[in-house]
Amino acid sequence: LVTVSSYLHGVCMSWVLGYVVYDLQTQMIDRMIAFPTQFYDDISAAQINIRISSDVNQLTDTASTVVITIIRESLTILGLLIWIFILDWALSLILLIATPLIATLVAFIARRLRKLYRDFMQMGERLLAHLQEVTAYHRLVKLYQTQNYERERLYNYANRVRQLKLKQAVASHLTVPAAEFISTVVIACTVYFSLTRDLTDPLTVGGFVSFMAALALISSSLKKLLRVNEMLQAGLTASERVFFLIDQEVEIDEGKRSMIDKKVDGEIQFRNITYKYPKSDASSLNEVSLDIKPRQTIALVGSSGSGKSTLTSLIPRLYEIQDGTLLVDGVDIREYTLADIRSQIALVSQDIFLFDDTVAVNIAYGNIENATDEKIREAAKSAYALDFIENLPNGFDTQIGERGVRLSGGQKQRIAIARAFIKDAPILIFDEATSSLDTKSEFEVRKALDALGEGRTVIIVAHRLASIEHVERIVVLSEGRIVEDGTHQELLAREGHYYQLYTVYKETEEQN
C-alpha cells in the first residue's frame, strides 16, 4: 500500500508540476508573440529562450521542493519552540538571544546568493547568445580565421560561469556550519545555565532531557531549512526573470475599425511624421509628409540612416508613431486593429526570414490559413521559383534547413517573394528586395515584381539605383527628411541629392 501511494504521489506531483510549467510557458509565449518590435531591439533571443525553457522549470522545481520543506520544518520548529517554552521559559530565552544572530546570517547569505544567481543567469545568457552567434556565423568565423578569437571569448564566458557557480557554493556551504556553530553554543549555554541554577530549579531530569531533545530537533529542522536556502534563492531569481517577461507591455492594439474580407485601395498619407528610436540621440524621421496615391509605385532612396526603412516600418505599425499622423485610405492607422492593417501589407526584406521547414510551408507562411497546394505552386511560378523548386530532391516538400541554409541566396530571395505573392496584399513593401540576386535572377524577379505590383500600391526601398530607374516616382530622403521628389530623369536634371547618389553609384558600378 505504501509503495502504491508513493507511486501515485509521484505521478500526481509530476502531472501538477508539468501543468504549472505548461501554463507559465503558454503565458510567456502569448506575451512574447505580442511584444512590440522595440522590445526585441533591446533583448537577445537567448534571454527570452532561457526564461521560457530553463527559468520556468527552476521556478516550479523550487515550488515543489522548497515550499514543502519550508512549511514542514517551520511547523516543526514552531511546535518545538512552544514545547520548550512550556518546559522552561527561562532557559528558552537563550534561544531567543541566538535567533537574531541566525536570522542575520541567513538574510546576509540570502542576499549574497540572490545577487550571485542573477549574475550567474545573466552570464549564462551571454554564453548562450554568443554560442548561437558563432554557430550561425560559422562560415564567417572560418573565412576570417577567427576560431582562436572566438574560442577565447567562449572560454572566458564559460570560465566566468564556473567562477560564479563556485562563489554560490562558497556562500551556500557557509550557512549550515555557521548555524551549527551558533546552535552548539546555544546548547552549551543551556547546559551550563541549567547546571548552575539553584536546587529549586523546577525542571526535572526528564524535563531537561526533553528540553535538550527538542533543541536538537530544532537544530536538525533548522539545518534542513538552511540547506534549501540556495534552491530558494535560485527559484526567487528565476521567478523575477519569468515575471519580468510576463509583465512586459504588449503592442498597443486599441483600434476598433475592422477590415474583415475587405481590401484597402492603398492610399497612404504621412502627415508631419517624426520618429526617434529610444536609445538614439537624433530623430530618424523629422516632420515627414508624403502622399502616395492608390496603386502607385514609388521608390525611397537615400544613404544609410536616412530613414527609409523606418518610414516603411511605421505603415504596419512595427513601431508606433510618436508625432504626426499616418493615414491609410484616409483613416488613421491607429483606428484599425493590428491584425487588419497588417493583413493589407506584404513585405519582402533584404533580411530573408526562412524557417527550418519545407519549401511549401515557407511559401504558405504568407497566408498560412488559406494556402493550398495550387496557390503555393502558382506563387512559386509567379516568383520565378518553380523551376529550381522542382529540381530540389523532394520538390516543395524539401527541408531547407535553418534560415534556408540549403538554398542559394537567390533561391531564398525568390521563396520570400513567393510568400508575398500568396498573401496577395494591396500594399507591397520591398526593402532591398533584389539586393542579393545575380543579374539573371534579378531580371526574372524584376519581371515578377512588376507583375505583382499591377493594381497595388508598391513602396520600394533600394540602394541599387539602376533597379528603380523605371519607377514612376522617386522620393529622396536625407537625415530623416524628404529632400527631393520626382521621376528619375527629373531628379537627374536637378543635379541635387539624387544626382549625387546616382553619380557615386555609377562610378562604383564601373569600378566593379
In tens, the pLDDT along 368-424 reads: 888 899 999 999 988 888 888 999 899 999 998 888 888 887 788 888 889 988 998
Distance, CA of 103 to CA of 225 (rounded, Å): 12
pLDDT of residue 300: 94
pLDDT of residue 137: 82
In single-letter form, the type of residue at position 312 comes to: T
Distance, CA of 216 to CA of 237 (rounded, Å): 32
Over 60: is that where the pLDDT of 351 sits?
yes
pLDDT of residue 441: 65
pLDDT in tens, 93-148: 777 777 788 788 888 888 888 899 899 988 988 998 898 888 888 888 888 788 89
Find which of 97-111, 225-239, 318-332 is predicted with most confidence, using mean pLDDT.
Answer: 318-332
Residues 6 or more apart whose Cβ sits within 8 Å of residue 242 = 24, 28, 51, 55, 56, 59
The H or E element containing residue 459 is strand 457-461
Distance, CA of 75 to CA of 78 (rounded, Å): 5
Q: What is the mean pLDDT of the chain?
A: 85
Q: How sure is the predictor about 269, in pLDDT bands with cuts at 50, 70 and 90?
A: very high
Please tell me the pTM assigned to this model: 0.78
CA 467-472-473 angle, 5° bins:
90
Residues 6 or more apart whose Cβ sits within 8 Å of residue 217 = 76, 80
Contact 480, 286 (CB under 8 A): yes
All domains of the chain in start order, with CATH = 2-246 (1.20.1560.10), 354-424 (3.40.50.300)
